[in-house]
Structure 1
Amino acid sequence: MFSTAKKHWVLISASAAFVFLVITPTLPFIQQVNTSLASPKDHAETNFRAPKLNVWADLTATEAEEVVKFLFENTNLNLTPSSLATSHENQILLIEVLQPNKSDALNYLVGSYTAPDRWARVAIVQSATEEALIVNYKVGPLPVKKATEILALDFCYNSGRNYVPNPLAHQAELQVWALSMIMNISDITQALLGNEVDIFDPNGLTAGGRISFMEKHIMIMWMYFALSNPTGGTSTLLPQGLYAKIGRTTSFSRTISVKLIFLADASTRNSSNWKVLQWYYNNVLYDTADDLWKAINTPGFKKAPVNSDGRWTETVDFSHGHGDRSKPPPIMVQPTGARYHVDEEEKYVSWMGFEFYMRTSSDAGVALHDIKFNGDSVIYELGLQEALAHYAGDDPMQGGLEFMDTSFYMGRLMFELVPGYDCPAYATFLSTSYHFGENTVVNNNSICIFEHTADYPIQRHSSNTRVSVSRNTYLVVRFVSTVWNYDYTFDYIFYLDGTIEVKVRASGFIFAAFWTGNEVNEDEYGFRIHDALASSMHDHVLNFKADMDVAGTENTMVRLGVESITMEYPWDDDRIKPRNTMHLVHYPVEKETGLNWTRNSGEMFIVMNQNKTNEWGEKRGYRIQPGSGIGSPTHLTILNSTALGKSALWASQDLWVLKRKDTEPRSASSLNFLDPLDPLVDFSKFVDDEDIVQDDLVVYFNLGMHHVPHSGDIPNTLMHTSSSSVMFTPFNFHDRDPSRLTSQGVQLDIKPKGAKPRYFGETYQKGVNLEKTDLEPDLTQFGGSSGN
């Protein structure tokens, strides 16, 4: 039966890659979810204030309520409240702040200009028309007043449109149709899967679908069947090897110019337009269910094994375990309070020379703005753009499966963090809020900020008479987005020398394939990992934007090559001339382009300001390099993906250096998944051969990995085996290492009778008294509810 667990997946399920069908009494696109949570101990100062307003901050609940009222007063929109709307009516999808142009924001931050006007981005689900669409508008200026207006939001989409077709506007009808279809083939499912699978049992059979856009206006969906596990969420480990191909033609016009929705009669969306085109079971295609049923009843028919649930899918083991498990592990404490400062109202953070603003978006989570170090500008904007997973396999599901995770609204899926586990108990926890439909969704404690000391020093050196060593402390801004089967942990990490690291780790249940025992393609796409389960190879590619402002807005990207060379030096003996050695070669990147990490790290990518030098006359810069993940970040293996179309062309190379434009604020749109062949944002149009020497540069870079799951990924993928990061490291940016003024450590002068320690930075002079909650937080109130 269709699972009723996690009902908030209903909207997200209408993706170009995947549809997870759930039967729910709520509206077909959104169910309002409020996760009001217990607040851990607050360590932030109450009197610390940001120097300016956070001009990137999302709308307040009051601002969103005013916009909702304004929209409903506009009768041309023909809106129905989300709680009452059907798939034949118009409703509000989401409301969030529209980011100001960079020039306006900088004028305010560095000058005497007033803050830029605030505008809202509004997405409307338009279903009360023959052609169902999702349409973007901008509403402003805010707060709502006589001058406030609603306009088409299209300047930020290089398609020139402010809408995408919505091929699954009638999702509720499709869900009912699919449920009926499953019930009508109960004889087949019971014959293949056994009587233990009851389609009326919420823990029984569930179904999901992979949508493919074959060409303009034509799409098909392969539906797969799996066992459901509403409490454990393990259905992606429990495919049953039965697939149905469903088809329907659409008729979306490309000539529509949507500026404002006017009153219109809803056309009938008839579920009879859908039909099962083929069935696939155990490597055999069948044209009809009758053909499959006849084959089942034919002597010699080979049934595949049933992929049964059991303890093997449980993520924890509450048995005794290893003997030393009874002892709690070491933990970090913060006895004297936080050394960072947070203005929670403005989401502004200061730590050891770093300062920056935070914002959240419904689709991409936390981004940072106006990052400075010791007063110098480094990065104007740093944030996630899109998270892609692309699979390969020898069944109809894995063979074309791909996810565009911002279509799941990753910001909205930033749930409560577990103190003492996701983040140290002493961390500062912040809430986030989003505006879906007419309601504000609050996720408390969904961001944590903490300082941490690494298990290795930032600097050390020993000599015959002296040892010096410095503790390596760093600041972390962390959030976790749970996108169905995967939990992505995102970190922005700040180091004492001015380095900034962006890191992602993944854990959760893999989207596994059914194991048929087909020896022809054995281990071609993965490995057998359970009785009737195979791993499924896939690429993770997560795209980030870094709007570089290294010592100002005029920057140049330089490829600094480390190259071999044969040279003759006058001091060399004739017997060893010429000498084989190496040298540095500077290659300024003069045009917009894409780059890949070079073999043997043979080039360094440095963004530098040609007009700003340090004390030694060297151009100030920041190097961009792979960070501390399990390997160099990857790009997509598949070129010209038939599943992705033009929706994710940023994934074809490791990083891109481009000229910044207000009309290109994002490398992707969360609505690209609905129209991959003609997406709202086509990244290929960003790279148009413009000159970029000493210009305002944006670097789009990818994190990710080629994930080939193995038996160790059962039941969960482990974070230390699935991490990826990129670092931005000062390169001649300073006159010398600035961490000397902020690191803490000891210098030991070695004497005949022992060492004489000299400490730099304060030390603990006495013991500390800790409460139990400093060591193990009270989690009994985790997930506790309160009002919006």
Structure 2
Amino acid sequence: MISTVKKHCVLVSAFIAFIFFIITPTLPLIKRVRTSLVPSRGHDAGAFRAPKLNVWADLSTEEAEDVVNFLFKKSDLNLTRSSLATSHDNQIFFVEVLQPNKTDVLGYLTGSSAPPDRWARVAIVQSATEEALIVNFKVGPLPINEAAEILSLEFCYSSGRNYVANSISIQDELVAWSLSKLVEFSDITQELLGDDEDPFDPNGLSVGGRLSSVENGTAVVWVHFALSNPTGGTSTLLPQGLYTQIDASTRDSSNWKILQWYYNNVLYDTANDLRDAINAPGFKKAGRNTDGPWTETVDFSEGHADRSKPPPTMIQPTGARYHIDEEENYVSWMGFEFFMRTSSDAGVALHDIKFHGDSVIYELGLQEALAHYAGDDPTQGGLEFMDTSFYMGRLMFELVPGYDCPAYATYLSTSYHFAEKTVVNQNSICVFEHTADYPIQRHSSTTRVSVSRNTYLVVRFVSTVWNYDYTFDYIFYLDGTIEVKVRASGFIFAAFWTGNEANEDEYGFRVHDSLASSMHDHVLNFKADLDIAGADNTMVRLGIEPITLEYPWDDDRIKPRNTMHLVQRPVEKETGLDWARNSGEMLIVMNQNKTNEWGEKRGYRVQPGSGIGSPTHLTILNSTALGKSALWASRDLWVLKRKDTEPRSASSLNFLDPWDPLVDFSKFVDDEDIVQEDLVIFFNLGMHHVPHSGDIPNTLMHTSSSSVMFTPFNFHNRDPSRLNSQGVQLDVEAKGAKPRYFGQTYHEGVKLKKSDLEPDLTKFGGSSGNVSWVSKLVGPIPWA
């Protein structure tokens, strides 16, 4: 018999790992370095330069270190070094650049003013006081000197506060308390869930939790039991069907208690009630979920006969056609130009996107990634995740060349400063040009065939938020179209299957012995600050509607004629919109003061893109779990007047106070006039995910993708891709065809190295920024 004290030490440590993961300091920076994994090739990095400074760029390592040193000199902050801090100390949570206000940037971009001052945004975990808080400050201007100051940062939060109550500040006490309490219930876990020979087995029993309620900085938590598998990450497929509720509603552990137990569709008020039921005749045990080959993501067996042949692959034998200034993170390709930046919570965003010199989008980037579940057990019944709270930017790990991105892509690294140290995530962004498997244009006639290759540029990063891997793409097309696309893969957060016939298949489907899928909505919110040929724009709803009319030229026998027509309706007030039924309406952002050569107002259409269907919004109405923390998820997109005081639709700290969040999106929609104003579109990507047997072991990316496109609409005088595309015109003659190439084509063969087709991956993971870093930092992460 193993020591129950040691056993529960393992269980509780796994539970606390999540809390530690949330509040461990992280100071995000970008390190503009060239990858050491992939040879430097593909663009003239030495010659190409950005026309302006990247005023959105993340803090350099030196800037972050100066800010940290400045903070430790402020005695009133009472800071403790993170390596020594407890849950009753004040420590630095993160430091990153405070994004400059657009009002201050536009003058610099147009050449009428100097670059705006740089400031750092600082979050402090304040736990040395009676009430635990996370507090936001601004520090600057940078570089730090005698004039630098630390100021309260609240202008960018609709709550008007610079702080949020920290309901998960009591990790040390929770560990000690749980050790003293849960040992009393080891007979229950051993009887229902079995025993482990080794209490420190990483594949043994572990626990995770769901915040049942958060109020005034306190928390009630439902804890669930599962099997761990930190190597394969399959623990979300291995729930064990036992749940207990812990009341940690004060910071004083003497007031904490275990409230209820739940097992096999029965709620028990006390542990003794559950013991009595176990010992009573006829007690029915639920099954168990055990690990095995069914959770393996790959199969090394021989497989299909043609699997022995390598698949086709893309190559780039003559070098890249895009250009990157890695010092300023500035990209140019086929008339497009833009700046890149990264943030610790939301990953990569783009700024000042232009096409052939015309402004299109000032800012494009992720705001929040929501997953909301439904189910009939205490975990799935109220489970929701707002993934920026896990800091999706720092979870941008190393990409696999030749698999995540083509071998010839340019790989860029990012870095984050946590615990007063800098960690580099090598090769966590890739930029590449690709050719589609279909042309962008073609036409055949009796004497001529013309066809143009469809090439596009991709900026890609992957954020792994425990069980899910989100692949984010910003895609640029030759005609000026910009697409934002998200694909998901990874392990589903499955539910325990009890065989309850009363609600069979109500929330999902049985996918293994004691495992059920769990329905959930993915809603990922993005910001698009459109500047269509200038900052003053109008959203127009262009309806495609049926109508019955009489035309003077119609024959009397068919009068009146049933037909259709276009109806333009300007959106005059801030509002939320949904994609039209039957795609019967187009949403176009126009500049009413700018026209093309034909007198038509220049615009860009906002439309569903190339995913598996129209992007979705949240199904649940007035979510009791979300409160006011994600009200942007209730509609497909929102059109609002841009304000410096509303830079983000969400905060990564919203989950800590969902009923009075730092950013309450409902306050953004205040009935303002938006005709010919600086507009912002907050749009959602996502899907209603009802996993089935095909999601075992992993969800597949082609079945879980969503995108939105921004497409030129009368923006040009003609299709601009004619100047950018490469292809052939075949003049058909009696003796055969005469090809005439436009753009460049290949005149001779090319020689390829094996690494052009299959990169050397033996050095993968050599940087400190890989998954091993997170595992070392937090241990096995028990919940997403």
- 2:544, 2:197 → 1: CA distance? 62
Map of 1:147 onto structure 2 = 147
| Cα drift, residue 444 of structure 1 | 1.2
Q: Deviations over 1:459-479 (max 9, x none)?
A: 001111111110000000000
Q: Which residue of 1 aligns with 2:64?
A: 64
Seen in structure 2, the aligned counterparts of structure 1 residues 709 and 302 have a Cα distance that, compared at 3 Å, is same
From 470, 486, 492, the counterpart of 2:468: 486
1:281 matched residue in structure 2: 263
In structure 2, do the counterparts of structure 1 residues 32 and 234 end up closer, same or farther at CA, with 3 Å as the change threshold? farther
Cα distance, 1:324–1:482 mapped onto 2, change above 3 Å:
same
CA gap of 1:25–1:656, structure 2 versus 1, over 3 A, is: closer
Q: Choose between structure 1 and 2: higher helix proportion.
A: 2
| Partner residue in 2 for 1:254 | none
Q: Equivalents in 1 of 2:581, 2:195: separation in Å?
A: 56
Runs of at least 5 residues in structure 1 that lack an aligned partner in the other structure? 11-18, 251-268
Matched, 1:535 2:517: yes
Question: 1:22 matched to which residue of 2?
Answer: 17
Partners of 1:726 and 1:4 in 2: CA distance: 45
User: What is the identity, as a one-letter code, of the residue corresponding to 1:370?
Assistant: D
* Partners of 2:339 and 2:353 within 8 A in 1: yes
Look up the SS of the partner of 2:380 in the other structure: coil
Counterpart residue type for residue 554 of structure 2: D
1:624 match: secondary structure: strand
Deviation at 1:756, TM superposition (A): 0.8
Structure 1 residue aligned with 2:610: 628
Question: What secondary structure does 1:667 align onto?
Answer: coil
Q: 1:405 matched to which residue of 2?
A: 387
2:530 alignment partner in structure 1: 548
Letter in 1 for 2:536: E
The one-letter code sitting in structure 2 at the alignment partner of 1:150 is I
CA contact (8 A) 2:196 2:205 kept: no
Matches within 5 A, 1:108-127: 108-127=108-127
| TM-superposition CA deviations, 1:339-394 (whole Å, max 9, x none) | 00000110000000000000000000000000000000000000000000000000
Match of 2:717 in 1: 735
Q: Take 1:497 and 1:447, find their aligned partners in 2: how far apart are those partners? A: 24
1:341-740 counterparts in 2 under 5 A? 341-740=323-722
Deviates more, 1:37-46 or 1:552-561: 37-46
Give a deviation string over 1:713-756, Cα, whole Å, max 9, x none. Answer: 00000000000000000000000000001101111111111111
How far off its partner does 1:440 sit?
2.0
The answer as to whether partners of 2:527 and 2:683 remain within 8 angstroms in 1 is yes
Residue aligning to 1:207: 207
1-structure distance, mates of 2:722, 2:501: 61
The root-mean-square deviation of aligned C-alpha atoms, in Å, is 2.1
Task: Kindly state the Cα deviation for residue 196 of structure 1 after the two structures are TM-superposed.
Answer: 4.8
1:79 corresponds in structure 2 to 79
- CA-to-aligned-CA distance 1:216-238 (integer Å, 9 cap, x gap): 56642110000000111110000
- Per the alignment, do residues 114 and 30 of structure 1 end up closer, same or farther by CA in structure 2, a change over 3 Å counting? closer
Q: 1:264 aligns to what?
A: none
Q: 1:27 to 1:496 in 2, by over 3 A?
A: closer
Q: Is the 8 A contact 2:10 2:200 kept in 1?
A: no
Name the CA distance, whole Å, in 1 between partners of 2:495 and 2:576. Answer: 34
Paired position in structure 1 for 2:227? 227
The CA deviation at 1:110 is 1.1
The structural deviation recorded for 1:179 is 4.5
Aligned to 2:778: none
TM-score, normalization by structure 2: 0.94
1:407-443 CA-to-partner distances (Å, cap 9, x unmatched) read 0000010000000000000000001122333222211
8 Å Cα contact 2:324-2:330 kept in structure 1:
yes
Gapped runs of 5+ residues in structure 2?
Answer: 1-6, 774-784
Map 1:8-47; keep pairs closer than 5 Å.
20-22=15-17, 29-30=24-25, 38-43=36-41, 44-45=43-44, 46-47=46-47
2:376 match: secondary structure:
coil
The amino acid of 1:677's aligned partner reads: W
Query: Structure 1 residues 652 and 239, CA, compared in 2 at 3 Å: closer, same or farther?
Result: same
Aligned in 2, Cα 1:186/1:741: closer, same or farther, shift over 3 Å? same
- Work out the CA distance in 2 between the residues paired with 1:20 and 1:96: 28
Distance across 2 between alignment mates of 1:382 and 1:376: 16
Structure 2 Cα separation of the partners of residues 425 and 308 of structure 1: 38
Paired residue for 1:260?
none
State how far apart, in whole Å, the 2-side matches of 1:179 and 1:626 are: 51
Counterpart residue identity of residue 454, structure 1: A
Q: TM-score, normalised by structure 1?
A: 0.94
Rate the CA distance shift 1:203–1:582 in 2: closer, same or farther, 3 A: same
Aligned-residue offset at 1:452: 0.1
Equivalent-residue separation in structure 2 for 1:446 and 1:455 (angstroms): 26
Go from structure 1 to structure 2 and tell me whether the alpha carbon gap of 1:644 and 1:197 turns closer, same or farther (over 3 Å shift): farther
Query: Do the aligned partners of 2:19 and 2:168 also contact (CA within 8 Å) in 1?
Result: no
Q: Which residue of 2 aligns with 1:96?
A: 96
Task: Return closer, same or farther for 1:234/1:348 CA change in 2, 3 Å cut-off.
Answer: same
Distance 1:648 1:607 in 2: 25
- How far apart are 1:189 and its partner, in Å? 1.4
CA contact 1:159–1:680 (8 Å) conserved in 2: yes
Q: Over residues 622-654 of structure 1, what are the superposed CA-to-partner deviations in whole Å (9 max), with x where a residue is unaligned?
A: 000000000000000011100000000000000
Aligned letter for 1:750? Answer: V
Report the counterpart of residue 750 of structure 2 in structure 1: 768
State the Cα distance separating 1:215 from its structure 2 match: 5.4
1:655·1:702 contact (CA, 8 Å) conserved in 2? Answer: yes
- Please give the per-residue CA displacement for 1:153-197, whole angstroms capped at 9, x wherever unaligned: 000001010000001111132134335544432221121122357
User: Contact 1:556/1:610 (CA < 8 Å) preserved in 2?
Assistant: yes
How far has the Cα of 1:534 moved from its partner? 0.1
Contact 2:28 2:417 in 1 (8 A): no
Letter matched to residue 592 of structure 1:
E
Query: How many residues in Structure 1 have an aligned counterpart in Structure 2?
Result: 759
Which position in structure 1 is the counterpart of 2:782? none
Residue 198 of structure 1 and its aligned partner are, at CA, apart by 5.6
In the alignment, the residues of structure 2 paired with residue 218 and residue 22 of structure 1 have an alpha-carbon distance, to the nearest angstrom, of: 18
The yes-or-no answer on 1:161 pairing with 2:161 is yes
Q: Contact 2:389 / 2:653 at 8 angstroms: preserved in 1?
A: yes
Residues in 1 aligned to 2:27 and 2:99: alpha-carbon distance in whole angstroms: 24
Which AA in structure 2 matches 1:618? Answer: E
For residues 25 and 714 of structure 1, what CA distance do their matches in structure 2 show? 30
Q: 1-side partners of 2:400 and 2:9: how far apart?
A: 26
Could you tell me how far 1:298 is from its partner in structure 2?
Answer: 1.1
CA contact (8 A) 2:27 2:93 kept: no
Q: In 2 relative to 1, CA 466–231 (structure 1 residues): closer, same or farther, beyond 3 Å?
A: same
Q: Deviations over 1:659-691 (max 9, x none)?
A: 000000000000001000100000000000000
Letter in 1 for 2:382: G
Q: Using a 3 Å threshold, how does the CA distance of structure 1 residues 694 and 114 change in structure 2: closer, same or farther?
A: same
Quick one: distance in 1 between partners of 2:320 and 2:118? 33
Name the CA shift for 1:23/1:600 in 2 (closer, same or farther; >3 Å).
closer
**Which amino acid is the alignment partner of residue 412 of structure 1?**
R
Partner amino acid, structure 1, of 2:221:
M
Going from structure 1 to structure 2, the CA distance change for 1:379 and 1:396 (only over 3 Å counts) comes to same
